[in-house]
Amino acid sequence: MNHALLIIGNTLRTNLPLREYLKRVYYAHFHEEGDLFFLARNDANLLFFLQDLIKRYKTLTIATLDDGGSLVGKVLCTLTDDALVLQSNVLAPSKALQVAPGSYTIKHNENYINVLQISLHGTIGPIFSPAVEEYCVFHLVGLDTQSCQVLLEPIAQTFDVSIHVSPWVDGLAKIEARTQKYGQLENFIKSAYSLFKEKFFLGDNPMSHIVHHLSQQQKKITCAESCTGGLIASLLTQIPGASQCIDGTLVTYANGIKRAWLGVDKDILSTQGAVSEACVRDMLNGALKASKSHFALATSGIAGPDGGSEQKPVGTVFIGVGDNNGNRTIERVLLKGDRQAIQMQSAYHAFRLLLQTYPSFFFTSD
């Protein structure tokens, strides 16, 4: 990694929604998180700190709020022996390579510096600095991380490509592929697809893939969530185009609501409990009946930190998928971590189970 992001100013550092938006813009350009630094706007070491980062990183992105842009520009002009001029309504160094509202890029020696002047209302300009390597992301479903690495590594070596395998959860792996000096990324991707086919899809995340295929084939999906508290629906609706395939979802946290909204059998709740295969089966039935959707996802479990037992320890989650043809697939998973980690893993296991259960639907060619 030879790129970094420097955030200047405490307001931008502490404004979590804006900071996370900035990080997503950065990731979309470089395809990975760079080294991250924070500096107060009035830090007396700003000039020396910038000088050090510019020497260390081939590409440095500097983010500041609008009112800090002039200060950053003056410091950069001091370091590069330049002057600020008005270009395209932006005050930028005269030798700037590219200028656009809220953004400009300069080159110092062989290194690129991109300044983003961000509006507090959330406007972020483009990043112009080059992302040097060819890059691609794909996913494999139904294989553990070690198997993915072992099977892909010989192909990667053949085409001079480096790979990084990272699991969302067991059975759902994200693979990042980058070209080396003589890399043939397109041939690597073709070979990987040929080997895995109905386990393989391109893209940054499973939610985009699911929404795309449902929308493309004009199918609907709904969720009946207990322990995940609406997280599955939230992750899906973050994807543009989700309105094409999601009409609604049901968060049924209490047993009484499971009975009233989803028709979960009272005897099941009293004898087997909400955290059971039978309960999740009834949740799927109720969600499909209420929504008239083609597919449904359901979760019920113990996210902790309390509520576990010897038979059902914290992290026990039942995950189910079903369709309007009467098919139901339910799994019990035992997860580790704190409450938020268990909820997030449960959501991704639901996505994994959906993809794994319906390969002919979700792995057809576009």
Q: Answer whether residue 276 is part of any domain.
A: yes
- Confidence bin at 88 (pLDDT 50/70/90): confident
Helices (H) and strands (E) in the chain, counts: 13, 17
- Confidence bin at 365 (pLDDT 50/70/90): low
Kindly list the distances between the CA atom of residue 103 and the CA atoms of 15, 153, 244, in Å, as whole numbers in the listed order. Answer: 20, 39, 34
Alpha-carbon distance of 143 to 113, in angstroms, equals 41
Q: Are residues 109 and 156 in the same domain?
A: no
Compare 68 and 337 and report the one with higher pLDDT: 337
Alpha-carbon distance of 125 to 186, in angstroms, equals 30
Q: Are residues 302 and 271 in the same domain?
A: yes
Q: Answer whether residue 55 is part of any domain.
A: yes
For 270, half-sphere exposure in the C-beta direction (CA atoms, 13 angstrom radius) is: 3
CA-wise closest residue to 328 among 337, 318, 338: 318
The residue range of the domain holding 237 is: 207-362
DSSP string, 244-303: GT----EE--SHHHHHHHH---HHHHHHT-SSSHHHHHHHHHHHHHHH--SEEEEEEE--
Q: Are residues 233 and 145 in the same domain?
A: no
Q: Are residues 33 and 164 in the same domain?
A: no
CATH assignment at residue 71: 3.40.980.10
Q: Among the three residues 85, 118, 151, which one is the final residue of a domain in this structure?
A: 118
Predicted confidence at residue 364, as pLDDT, reads: 72
Kindly list the distances between the CA atom of residue 352 and the CA atoms of 24, 73, 172, 214, in Å, as whole numbers in the listed order. Answer: 23, 47, 6, 15
Q: Among the three residues 90, 118, 146, which one is the final residue of a domain in this structure?
A: 118
Kindly list the distances between the CA atom of residue 151 and the CA atoms of 92, 140, 154, 157, 166, in Å, as whole numbers in the listed order. Answer: 49, 11, 7, 11, 14
> Contact 300/278 with Cβ under 8 angstroms?
no
Q: Answer whether residue 220 is part of any domain.
A: yes
Percent above pLDDT 70 for the chain: 99
Q: Are residues 102 and 146 in the same domain?
A: no
Q: Answer whether residue 130 is part of any domain.
A: no
Q: Give the pLDDT confidence of 255-289 residue by residue, as tens digits.
A: 999 999 999 999 999 999 999 999 999 999 999 99
Q: Answer whether residue 125 is part of any domain.
A: no
Q: Are residues 72 and 166 in the same domain?
A: no
- What letter would DSSP give residue 309? -
Q: Work out the average pLDDT over 183-194.
A: 95
Q: Are residues 224 and 354 in the same domain?
A: yes
- For residue 24, what are the contacts with CB-CB under 8 A and spacing of at least 6? none
Q: Are residues 87 and 27 in the same domain?
A: yes
Predicted confidence at residue 132, as pLDDT, reads: 61
Q: Are residues 218 and 296 in the same domain?
A: yes
Predicted confidence at residue 14, as pLDDT, reads: 93
Q: Please, what sign has the CA dihedral across residues 62, 64, 66, 68?
A: negative
Percent above pLDDT 90 for the chain: 87
Alpha-carbon distance of 271 to 282, in angstroms, equals 14
> Which long-range contacts (C-beta less than 8 Å, at least 24 apart) are formed by 17-24?
17/122, 18/118, 18/120, 18/122, 21/122, 21/124, 22/63, 22/116, 22/118, 22/124
Mean pLDDT of the chain: 94
Q: Are residues 48 and 157 in the same domain?
A: no
Q: Are residues 42 and 139 in the same domain?
A: no
Q: Answer whether residue 101 is part of any domain.
A: yes
Predicted confidence at residue 1, as pLDDT, reads: 60
Count: domains in the chain? 3
**Does the pLDDT at position 94 exceed 80?**
yes
Q: Answer whether residue 126 is part of any domain.
A: no
Q: Are residues 101 and 171 in the same domain?
A: no
